A and B are shown apart, each in its own frame.
Chain A
């Protein structure tokens, strides 16, 4: 073996070792700073992790664009939905008077809220863009209570990392990290364009995240659980979306 090829071999070996240990260190730092999404496994894990990590570093506090009232889409648009559940229809018949939002998990004061209680909190509104992963979009005024306000009321614990949210339809649940949950534009919405939130748009209560795609904005919310780990929920991928093949993080 000539000196040249030996040197080349040693150099390549050192570079490979440095590369692998570098990746290991990067993964540890990423884990520590919450840059790894729950659906980081599998063949698409690399792309998802890069997207989520880049967005967490770049967009933790950025605000979605807000629009003027004249830009609101008219007529308002409501997407197709799976059939309403029997439980939902009973609530609908009763004018949603018995609709409850239960908040539990890593909180100091677990609580249950009626719609009237949620509406008694300072309301907030935003005129924002909703884009579906399919390609269509609309602009609407969303009225509701910031999720961060509810989290303050129940006292979210410092070790919490995710807010899991459930629809009345048991197949429909999702989660967001605490950065998104405490973001000022993350709403529990109960109004649309100065009216009650129509059922077709997720009424009486919808999670509204203007910095993520439409499918993350789950309709008919009844339950929030605050947790530090997504492993115990469904297949542990963060939401029902990755189980159906869609990415957990939908900010792209």
Chain B
């Protein structure tokens, strides 16, 4: 039993000697239905936002700071890519096709769906204790020792133990908290700050960021950070055991931690 580490409470005591004897219906779900559904809706929306966002950036791959910026003003930085607009000085001798129409429709539709999904998830997380139980790190983990153990394990590319199939380690918890409570709110805020109608009602949305072009630049950087998170997340899932982790997030069930190996 000791080797099971932090297996959820209901599992303890009811553990038979052989995992194959456990009827699947008595095994608690690794992820609740709401977490699984909101996870995959968010995934689809993020991919839609990413593709359409890239298309929109291509029409003006120049970034500025402050309220204004255009082809006549200095940039903060430029992306070294061709543009879908002839007026943008890119250094390339050709212009890409304009894809902004459907990209913008898709971007805002996906934004609505992901924001409503996120709200549902946040309400669920608050009221069921999901955030408290599964995401907020325990005080023991928040020590130097807790951190150094977790970081050392990651640096050695150590495959997670059986216990970790049922819980998140401290680095995972902090990363998910960062994505859910900092990066997503920030990308929504900076997105709203680019809406001329929204900022007419709530001007602080844009003034606090230093201007509409600053909002656009921050929106870009947070999107890049979210893309980095996605890539690392997928790599970690593969390293931890793709089949088991995917099964857990699709069906809710996992055999990890129940098998005797």
Contact B200 A64 (CB under 8 A): yes
Contact A55 B197 (CB under 8 A): yes
Q: Point out the residue from A75, A79, A247, A251 that lies within 8 Å of B104, measured CB to CB.
A: A247
B201 part of interface (Cβ distance < 8 Å)? yes
Interface residues of A in 213-252 (CB under 8 A from B): 213, 244-247, 251-252
Contact B67 A252 (CB under 8 A): no
Interface residues of B in 166-200 (CB under 8 A from A): 194-200
Interface residues of B in 192-247 (CB under 8 A from A): 194-201, 203, 206-207, 212-213, 216
Give the size of the chain B interface in residues (CB under 8 angstroms): 41
**Per-position contact with B for A32-55: 1 when CB-CB < 8 Å, else 0?**
000000000000101110110001
**Per-position contact with A for B67-99: 1 when CB-CB < 8 Å, else 0?**
111111100000000000111000000000000
A77 part of interface (Cβ distance < 8 Å)? yes
Shortest CB distance A44–B (Å): 4
Cα of A47 to Cα of B114 in the assembled complex, Å: 11
Contact B100 A47 (CB under 8 A): no
**Per-position contact with A for B102-135: 1 when CB-CB < 8 Å, else 0?**
1011101111110000000000000000000000
A133 part of interface (Cβ distance < 8 Å)? yes
Cα of A22 to Cα of B254 in the assembled complex, Å: 38
Contact A136 B69 (CB under 8 A): yes
Cα of A80 to Cα of B70 in the assembled complex, Å: 12
Contact A75 B72 (CB under 8 A): yes
Q: A65-B203, A79-B87 are in contact. Are A211 and B104 (CB under 8 A)?
A: no
Cα of A218 to Cα of B185 in the assembled complex, Å: 34
Cα of A59 to Cα of B113 in the assembled complex, Å: 21
List chain B positions with a Cβ less than 8 A from chain A: 56-57, 59-60, 62, 67-73, 85-87, 100-102, 104-106, 108-113, 194-201, 203, 206-207, 212-213, 216
Q: A47-B109, A134-B100 are in contact. Are A59 and B87 (CB under 8 A)?
A: no
Q: A79-B87, A136-B71 are in contact. Are A44 and B197 (CB under 8 A)?
A: no
Contact B105 A44 (CB under 8 A): yes
18 contacts between A and B (CB under 8 A): A44-B105, A44-B109, A51-B112, A55-B197, A58-B197, A59-B200, A64-B196, A65-B206, A65-B207, A73-B70, A80-B87, A131-B212, A210-B196, A211-B200, A245-B102, A247-B104, A247-B105, A252-B108
Q: Point out the residue from A129, A134, A139 that lies within 8 Å of B59, measured CB to CB.
A: A134
Contact A46 B112 (CB under 8 A): yes
User: On chain A, which size bracket covers the interface?
Assistant: 35 or more
Q: Point out the residue from A73, A77, A135, A139 that lies within 8 Å of B57, measured CB to CB.
A: A135
Contact B70 A251 (CB under 8 A): no
List chain A positions with a Cβ less than 8 A from chain B: 44, 46-48, 50-51, 55, 58-59, 62-65, 67, 71, 73, 75, 77, 79-80, 129, 131-139, 210-213, 244-247, 251-252
Nearest to A244 among chain B residues (CB) is B101
B residues less than 8 Å from A62 (CB atoms):
197, 200-201
Nearest to B100 among chain A residues (CB) is A133
B residues less than 8 Å from A133 (CB atoms):
56, 59, 100, 104
Contact A211 B196 (CB under 8 A): yes
Q: A77-B70, A246-B100 are in contact. Are A48 and B105 (CB under 8 A)?
A: yes
